[in-house]
Structure 1
Amino acid sequence: MTLSAPDPTRSVPLPLRQQADVRDRWLSERLLDLLPGLMDRAGIDLWVVVGREYNEDPVLATLLPATWLSARRRTVLLLHRSDDGVTPAAVSRYPVGQFLPAWSAAGAAEGGQWAEVRRFVEQADPRRIGVDVSARFALADGLSHTEHRLLAEALGPYAERMVSAEELAVGWLETRLPEEIAALRAVNELVHQVIAEAFSAAVVEVGTTTVVDVAWWLRQRFADLGLEPWFHPSVLLQRAGVPLAEDDGTLLPAVPYDAVVQHGDVLHCDVGVTHLGLRTDTQRNAYVLRAGETAPPAGLRAAMATANRLQDLTVAALAPGRTGNEVLASARASAAAEGIDGDVYSHPVGYHGHGAGPAIGQWDEQRRVPGAGDYPVHPDTVYALELAVRRPVPEWGGQCLRLGLEEGIALTGDGVSYLAGRQTDFLLIG
């Protein structure tokens, strides 16, 4: 009997063994189809990724087999670009999945691990040796001080050829295969379903349930489904009569973090889960109906429409070749022209929730983000489209509402698409 390959778009989450099969297949495809072009773009002939157990380079985890949960002892991965593609080799005491073994017990007796690295480099004779050091991106700065020193000593005169692999590391981390994007669509759909359940009368008992209760319900529900969080869910509440508070120039909700949910409240959640080694990041909003209401007040609905418009303007600015700061400036200029009071702070999401790639604003920095904001946008990437608007609500006596939205979007050659739709109406509790 022939077993079909697991389909990560049909079952979320997949059983752990099937997840491992999918992740290892993706890694093979990425090494074969994706990495050569990324190395050519960065002008790197040999990429050296080094990590010791309990002090792994963040990139290293994305190159290891699914059954490896960390480095073992010292793990050295060598990715050599040649006319035939990329040759992945491992100078490690243990076999490393798809990587060719370049060291053994016999090799250990002939000079040790670093000597084998030197022999590999001499044979490859690369012009530029990429190592993970970066001032702009923490995720591309994973080569520790000690490992950098030992590598340089081992390479001898070849150490002069070492360069930052920042562009390569970021490209590897941010670029998604089509099947990875499809899988992210499926898990984002599930996240939306769970949030809809959390923001319902099945979970929220008005006058009894606190926002802390809802946050822990979300955490437990995802755990029961087999989805791990990459941060603890947050649930915030806004209500008439409790104005926003200023925090370093930014207006934020001021209702106590453990407040009991009441009729007329606006609830907001921020959740992020992990599946197949990929992350999600989602924010959604709900309204608790008052007696006799069948919909939120018009002022709240207008705020949602304004937030959706800011999404449109940001998506329109998100184009390959632009830097994150250029996208931010364009979106904010368009918003100002339409009288929208809001902030844009979107970011890549993939192997990491706040992923490597162009930062498009930060909630406390709306002019430009130094470093990461100067990185350009590339196709075949996924972002958390994260932003917020502020708008007075007539039904609240003109009190300002801060409405935050965050949705997964994919940027491909076909343009921008929402991974699982977007919120255009409040979820209703009542």
Structure 2
Amino acid sequence: MTLVVPDPTRTVPLPLRQQADVRDRWLTQRLLDLLPGLMDRAGIDLWVVVGRENNEDPVLATLLPAAWLSARRRTVLVLHRSDDGVTPVAVSRYPVGQYLPGWSPGEGDQWAAVRRIVEQAAPRRIGIDVSASCALADGLSVTEHRALTDALGPWAERLVPAEDLVVGWLETRLPEEVAALDALNRLTDDVLARALSPAAVTPGTTTAADLAWWLHQELADRGVPPWFHPGVTVQRAGVRLRGHGDVALPALPQDAAVEPGDLVTCDAGLASLGLVTDLQRSAYLLRPGESAPPPGLQAAWTAATRMRALTAEAMAVGRTGNEVLAAARASADAEGLTAEVYSHPVGVHGHGAGPAIGRWDAQRGVRGDGDRVLHPDTVYALELAVRTTVPEWGGQALRLAVEEAVVLTPAGTSFLGCPQRELWTVPAA
């Protein structure tokens, strides 16, 4: 799929109806081409996903047609793996897109229909969304779990957590989805470039909070609303980092106006086509007479982009998130870089299902999610920070964060969108 970009300063997404057509086509392809292999890998013959209106299983939205914005009453999806592929059945009061109807209200009890389908499929292992370690795979409520167990009777002995299947379903992207994420990351980069320019920044007047709300409004106005409120941090000579556990973070308050000589970092992500982005961009506010950032800030940027490359090189199919983290940190140590790596899957959710490659406060590894193995056709927010000192700031410490989107393939990683190649500048007033 090609997303048309008619105006790089005012990119618009596809109209909602066209987005729905694309998303429904993707869902059909994912059910046909992806799900059988994912169910085989997880060793699950039948997957039951249950959601009630206003109490959604987070995976349910990824299995519903685009026009279904939520469950309706109780929605039960039953996905059966057989020699012919996967048969999707909806045990629902209303028709559900690509799914075969498994029940209508005039046919008796809804749970009895679920049991009938299970008995006909005779599965060895029935996957349900319960997990102690992965929130996205823990969407089956206690009430629905109890009702399902009661309805299945002896078949309930075959219920198993579907955690690995949920993670695989949420983290794996179709080629068209990767292409869409490439376009959406370009759009995110464009919005961040406008934010870090005179279009949004007036030194001496604009605050970090102003800039965050400018980003929020700009994304909403473009029809690609943010999935989190944008973050803006400002670092300045004479304002030292503050301690936060083992990590020192920027300390300038959000209501302080940015000034020439500041380093400003923006963190933003948009939502469109059922996918999200997560990027960071940094810019230096030039002082009068300056045409480039001080050498110390340039050196910090060089260190950050080098660490970005080292982390991308460490990401390989078959490694766990903790192994990638250890390899990236070992490479940093070998080159004398002080860094924290906290990269994560991104796609359907911003902090998505899949291997965690460190967290900013867990640099020795992440129990659970860090033990997951990296698979191909997955997209990550390659996120990290380096710490250096800036001679022009009297040797003051600086923490420079970077974040880009990468897709993992059997051959390694490839960057999506328009990676930031140099430290941006905002001209003096």
- Same fold? TM cut 0.5: yes
Distance in 2, matches of 1:48 and 1:327, equals: 33
| Per-residue deviation, residues 324-366 of structure 1 (Å, max 9, x unmatched) | 1111111111111111111000000011000000001001110
Q: Which of residues 179, 183, 199 is equivalent to 2:180?
A: 183
8 Å contact from structure 2 (residues 53, 73) kept in 1: yes
8 Å contact from structure 1 (residues 304, 424) kept in 2: no
Q: What is the Cα deviation at residue 9 of structure 1?
A: 5.8
CA gap 1:95/1:10 in 2 versus in 1, 3 angstroms: farther
Distance in 1, matches of 2:126 and 2:171, equals: 21
Q: What is the Cα deviation at residue 157 of structure 1?
A: 0.7
Q: What is the Cα deviation at residue 185 of structure 1?
A: 0.5
Distance in 1, matches of 2:336 and 2:2, equals: 45
Question: What is residue 65 of structure 1 aligned with on the other side?
Answer: 65
User: Within 5 A, what are the aligned runs for 1:95-244?
Assistant: 95-108=95-108, 112-244=109-241
8 Å contact from structure 1 (residues 233, 271) kept in 2: yes
Distance in 2, matches of 1:88 and 1:360, equals: 34
Q: Which of residues 291, 297, 300 is equivalent to 1:300?
A: 297
2:322 paired with 1:361? no
Q: Which amino acid aligns with 2:331?
A: S
| Per-residue deviation, residues 266-289 of structure 1 (Å, max 9, x unmatched) | 000110110101010011100000
Question: What is residue 41 of structure 1 aligned with on the other side?
Answer: 41
8 Å contact from structure 1 (residues 279, 350) kept in 2: yes
Distance in 1, matches of 2:331 and 2:411, equals: 23
Distance in 2, matches of 1:277 and 1:414, equals: 27
8 Å contact from structure 2 (residues 128, 159) kept in 1: yes
CA gap 1:9/1:23 in 2 versus in 1, 3 angstroms: farther
Distance in 1, matches of 2:27 and 2:342, equals: 30
User: Within 5 A, what are the aligned runs for 1:370-385?
Assistant: 370-385=367-382
| Per-residue deviation, residues 206-265 of structure 1 (Å, max 9, x unmatched) | 111111111111111111100111100111100001111111121000111111011100
Q: Which amino acid aligns with 2:275?
A: L
Distance in 1, matches of 2:100 and 2:411, equals: 37
Distance in 2, matches of 1:146 and 1:105, equals: 21
Distance in 2, matches of 1:123 and 1:400, equals: 66
Between 315-324 and 382-391, the greater mean CA deviation after superposition? 315-324
Q: CA RMSD in A?
A: 1.1
8 Å contact from structure 1 (residues 9, 183) kept in 2: no
8 Å contact from structure 1 (residues 61, 70) kept in 2: yes
Distance in 1, matches of 2:343 and 2:246, equals: 19
8 Å contact from structure 2 (residues 208, 256) kept in 1: yes
Q: What is the Cα deviation at residue 203 of structure 1?
A: 1.7
8 Å contact from structure 2 (residues 313, 412) kept in 1: no
| Per-residue deviation, residues 22-43 of structure 1 (Å, max 9, x unmatched) | 1000000000111000001111
Report the TM-score, using the length of structure 2 for normalisation: 0.97
SS at match of 2:354: coil
Question: What is residue 9 of structure 2 aligned with on the other side?
Answer: none
Distance in 1, matches of 2:317 and 2:199, equals: 43
Distance in 1, matches of 2:105 and 2:266, equals: 53
Q: Which amino acid aligns with 1:262?
A: E
Question: What is residue 21 of structure 2 aligned with on the other side?
Answer: 21
Distance in 2, matches of 1:8 and 1:266, equals: 33
Distance in 2, matches of 1:228 and 1:54, equals: 21
SS at match of 1:229: coil
- Structure 1 residue ranges (4+ consecutive) displaced by more than 4 angstroms after TM superposition: 9-12
CA gap 1:175/1:201 in 2 versus in 1, 3 angstroms: same
Question: What is residue 3 of structure 1 aligned with on the other side?
Answer: none
SS at match of 1:228: coil
SS at match of 1:38: helix
Q: What is the Cα deviation at residue 421 of structure 1?
A: 3.2
8 Å contact from structure 1 (residues 305, 424) kept in 2: no
8 Å contact from structure 1 (residues 8, 22) kept in 2: no
SS at match of 1:212: helix
Q: Which amino acid aligns with 1:100?
A: L
Distance in 1, matches of 2:40 and 2:342, equals: 31
Distance in 1, matches of 2:69 and 2:164, equals: 25
SS at match of 2:94: coil
Alignment length (residue pairs): 422
CA gap 1:346/1:115 in 2 versus in 1, 3 angstroms: same
| Per-residue deviation, residues 168-215 of structure 1 (Å, max 9, x unmatched) | 000000000000000000010011111111111122111111111111
Distance in 2, matches of 1:107 and 1:305, equals: 67
**% of aligned pairs identical?**
68
Question: What is residue 287 of structure 1 aligned with on the other side?
Answer: 284
| Per-residue deviation, residues 73-92 of structure 1 (Å, max 9, x unmatched) | 11000000001100000000
Question: What is residue 77 of structure 2 aligned with on the other side?
Answer: 77
Q: What is the Cα deviation at residue 10 of structure 1?
A: 5.2
